[in-house]
Each structure stands twice: as C-alpha cells, then as structure tokens.
Amino acid sequence: MQSPAVPFGDLRRQSAALRAELDAAVSRVIASGWYILGREVASFEEEFAAYCGAAHCVGVASGAEALYLALAALDVGPGAEVITVANACMYQVVAILQTGARPVLVDVDPATHTMDPQLLAAAISPRTRAIMPVHLFGRLADMPAIMAIADHHGIPVVEDAAQAHGALLDDAGGRPRRAGAWGTLACFSFYPSKNLGALGDGGALTTSDPDLAARLRRLRMYGWGSKYHTAESGGRNSRLDELQAALLRVKLGYLDSGNAARRERAAWYAELLADTPLILPADYPGHVYHLYVVESARRDVLRAHLQSVGVGCDVHYPEPVHLQSAYADLGYAPGSLSHTEALAGRILSLPMFPELSRAEVEIVSSAVIEGLSR
C-alpha cells in the first residue's frame, strides 16, 4: 500500500494559519502610503534586536546582502583573509569574494557540522580580518570557543545566523545567549523557508556596536549620511521593505512556538528512528532544527527510495564550496577538508517544519526504515 505523500516543506500551511494577521499587516502598509524605510522596518528592527538580545538591528535586502555588508562595515577588502567553512552552501564565499578578500576554508567538527575551533585557531594569520562561523541547520557553532580565540587575536566575528533564528547556547558564564548576540555582527536571512521567514526576500544584521549599526544604515542606502548627501562611498541599495517588515513582525510573534514545534518533531524522529543505523542530529536544548539532517553510508539508496514513495527530502549541501569548479582557484584540492567532504556524501534532510503532523513524521520514518532495509 502506498502511503500519502509528505512534502519536504509547505509554506501554505503557515500562511493559512496566520492569514488574518498577515492580511491586516499588508493592509496597514498599503493604507499608510509609506513603503520604504518607515515605521514597520524601524519597529521590526527594535523588536528583533530585543528578541536576539542585541542592542541594534539593521534590516537589509537578504541574508546574502547582510553577509556582504557585515564585511564591508568591518573594512574587509583586498589583501584581507576571512575564515569560514565549506559545508554551508556558497553564501559566505560569495560575500567574501565580493569584498576582494580571500576566503580561508576550515573543516567542520563531524559531530556538529560547524566550524572546528582548533582548526580555526590554526588558520589565523596576520591577514585575518574576520571570522565567519555558520550556525548550520539550527545549531549554534561552538561560539564560546570561537569567541575566545577571536578575542585573543582581536579579530571580529560575523555570525551567519541565517538558519538559527532563536537558537540558544550557554556562554562561558553559563547564561543562555541567542544567535545574533555573540559576534561583532550577526547576519540573518528571512527567506520564506527560514525559521523566521518573510513572504519574499529579506535580511538583517544585529550588533551591539552603535557605530557599526550606523555605518550599516548608511551602506544599505547608497552610502548616504542624510538625504542626498553621501557620507561614504561603497554604499548600495539593500533595504528591507515595509511590507516584508510588517509581515515579519507578525511572524516574529510565532517564532518561539514554531521553534518549539520543530524541537518536538525532532524528538519524534529521534524516537521513531532510534533503532536504525542512521546517525541522528546531536541534540541540545537550544537547537532550533531549521533542517533535520541524518547521516547514512547508504544515503543515495535511501534518498531514491524516499523519492519513489513520495516523501520529500533534500541534501544540504551536496557539493562543498571548495570542490565547485567555479571556485577551483581558491586552491583547495579534493581531500583537503576531509570531514566536510565525507559528510556531503552521507547527509540527508528529512521533512521538518512546525506544521508537519505526527502522522506525517510516522510516514517519513517508516519510509526511512523501509529504505534502509533495501
């Protein structure tokens, strides 16, 4: 008997549940007659900064823009090196190369899929101008260790928090701290499928440094210090718009419940898949499960089976940055980032979103068990 299909994601469910509030937000903006950098963006920035535990938030056009603007605000440019990872899609390297700096790639801890602090320490050179860890799949990178290394060398840290809205980790003093409240700057994406998603493109940076916040406000708007007066060159048009900000204010109210629902679904998978040879994601209380990523030596067989029975799945990400032909001139040979490369062949993302039902998680899990027995 064929079970019903389970989608990898389904944004219609979330939009339907919040429809009246989203409609009201859109109507409010339309009626206001003010569509760029107005009250909605200013309010969202305040609310999201407070949520993250940062002093400032600056809304921008996307997560990719946030990464670029963070480096630009730190004066990263030609001759500089920025240390990041190679398993988190190409976003970081794209931003680093746009500044003219050189990406320096380090391997990840195979248990957490995030930057290995020891390898970070070994990669620091006199030219290192920023460190860009990625909080991948909803898990914070080892920020206490990374911040200790960065602070020791006086190097700014730019968190890529695009997959970690609301994720928590204890700081060195044992106090839980959210993604966005660790580094010199942190970058968020509000791409629709993220834990906090707009109904279009959007992004933001958080920081506790008022000068950096002010600089980011200039850089996102042509470099203007005031209307028609350019305070600095190197600016661009990278604004979060009023409509998306108004929608994000609605969705921010549901971020914690959505993250709790993701954690509940992760616990269901852990229960239903406990007796399989899969490596399941290492849990900890602050994980927000942007993606639910399992590991299997027989990943491709499993993926083909899930696809054949209508269960959505995906690989995040199949081709590490340094092995992409477009980045061959970064100079990393195959084998140079061994954990990153091995993981790329083993990882599989199962359906994970707050509206996924228990019955669907059971269908997915049964299909996984069936696929592993092939």
Ligand X SMILES: *Cc1c(COP(=O)(O)O)cnc(C)c1O
Q: Which residues bind ligand X (CB under 6 A)?
A: 62-64, 88, 91, 134, 160, 162-163, 189, 191, 201, 203
Map tokens 């499928």 to a residue: 193
In angstroms, what is the minimal distance from the CB of 14 to ligand X? 17
Integer Cα distance of 232 and 82 in angstroms: 23
In the structure encoding, which two tokens stand for residue 178, read together? 């959210």
Cβ pair 277, 372 in contact under 8 A: yes
Integer Cα distance of 279 and 115 in angstroms: 19
Q: How many residues does the chain have?
A: 374
Q: In the complex with ligand X, which residue's Cβ is closer, 163 or 244?
A: 163
In angstroms, what is the minimal distance from the CB of 374 to ligand X? 31
DSSP state of 213: H
Q: In the complex with ligand X, which residue's Cβ is closer, 201 or 341?
A: 201
Query: Measured between alpha carbons, how far is residue 152 from residues 87, 122, 135, 184 in Å?
Result: 26, 13, 21, 14
In the structure encoding, which two tokens stand for residue 185, read together? 């700057």
Integer Cα distance of 60 and 50 in angstroms: 17
Q: Using DSSP, how many helices (H) and how many strands (E) does the chain show?
A: 13, 13
In angstroms, what is the minimal distance from the CB of 211 to ligand X? 25
Output the residue with the shortest Cβ distance to ligand X: 63
Integer Cα distance of 40 and 42 in angstroms: 5
In angstroms, what is the minimal distance from the CB of 245 to ligand X? 15
Q: In the complex with ligand X, which residue's Cβ is closer, 189 or 207?
A: 189
Q: In the complex with ligand X, which residue's Cβ is closer, 162 or 323?
A: 162
Q: In the complex with ligand X, which residue's Cβ is closer, 114 or 207?
A: 114
Q: In the complex with ligand X, which residue's Cβ is closer, 201 or 242?
A: 201
Q: In the complex with ligand X, which residue's Cβ is closer, 201 or 295?
A: 201
Q: In the complex with ligand X, which residue's Cβ is closer, 63 or 371?
A: 63
Map tokens 């670029």 to a residue: 68
In angstroms, what is the minimal distance from the CB of 265 to ligand X? 19
In angstroms, what is the minimal distance from the CB of 351 to ligand X? 17
In angstroms, what is the minimal distance from the CB of 322 to ligand X? 16
In angstroms, what is the minimal distance from the CB of 289 to ligand X? 13
Strands (DSSP E) contained in 18-161 are 56-60, 81-85, 102-106, 128-131, 158-160
Query: Measured between alpha carbons, how far is residue 19 from residues 7, 141, 205 in Å?
Result: 21, 34, 27
SS3 293: strand
Cβ pair 107, 340 in contact under 8 A: yes
In angstroms, what is the minimal distance from the CB of 310 to ligand X? 26
Q: In the complex with ligand X, which residue's Cβ is closer, 134 or 278?
A: 134
Query: Measured between alpha carbons, how far is residue 94 from residues 13, 28, 65, 91, 212 in Å?
Result: 33, 36, 10, 5, 22
Map tokens 């340094």 to a residue: 322
Integer Cα distance of 29 and 21 in angstroms: 13
